[in-house]
Amino acid sequence: MNRDEFYHLLRASSRIIEEVRSQRGIDVERNPATLLVLGSQSILGSWHEDYLPESVTTSIEMDLAVLPSELDECCFDDPAQELADYVEGSIGEDSWFEDEFDIYAQAVDETTAVLPEGWKRRLVRVDGRDHGISSVVLCLDPYDLCAAKLARLAEKDRRYIAALVDGGDIRLDELRCRLNMVRDPRMTIALRAQAVDFIRALEHSRPTH
């Protein structure tokens, strides 16, 4: 996914969500929705694909959550789930949108990822006004994103983190710090040990000067 496709998905998602919210009586111009991009492509909120290793931007999927406001809570039974479902139903996997543009949105919940404490304070805000995006868009800080991947460490997660480390985008000392800030019980002792071993292996594989 490149930056243009990133904005395209966000623009389409924003239009769907704001239309539904408007139908429920919300003044969307004064009270725009807040969209949270999780998963690997949230890195595009911080860096352009021309700067990133090619292997980091190969996914055609954007994991998207909605952070509901008090107005949304009043107008929907379960705003986060309902609004995300509208997006996935329209431009999700196997939709006409994917068929035409080869990218799609995956509805997720903000609790999907295992993240370090304080991650919300470090969210990266994307200014999409020049791209026709009326909603507020937030992306994970790159270190918090990599910490979340340390909680899974599937082969694709290992390649992703390694590519960013090799490219000089992610420092291992800071990544270790973020790992230590993960207090989510889903990060078990075994998973944490696996993550520590992976970071150590990356350190040993890097050339010394």
- The answer, yes or no, to whether residue 120 has pLDDT greater than 50, is yes
Looking at residue 116, what is its pLDDT? 98
Looking at residue 207, what is its pLDDT? 61
- Full DSSP string of 106-148: EE--TTSS---TTGGGGPEEE--GGGT--SEEEE--HHHHHHH
pLDDT band at residue 110 using 50, 70 and 90 as cut-offs = very high
pTM of the model: 0.93
- Cβ-in-10-Å burial (0-12, 13-18, 19+) of 96 comes to exposed
State pLDDT tens for residues 59-92: 999 999 999 999 999 999 999 999 999 999 999 9
Mean pLDDT in residue range 106-130: 94
- The answer, yes or no, to whether residue 135 has pLDDT greater than 80, is yes
Mean pLDDT in residue range 147-175: 95
Does residue 88 contact residue 105 with C-beta atoms inside 8 Å?
A: yes
* Closest to 113 measured CA to CA, from 155, 151, 60: 151
Looking at residue 46, what is its pLDDT? 94
Which residues, at least 6 apart from 199, have a Cβ–Cβ distance to it below 8 Å?
150, 172, 175, 176, 179
- The answer, yes or no, to whether residue 178 has pLDDT greater than 90, is yes
Looking at residue 18, what is its pLDDT? 97
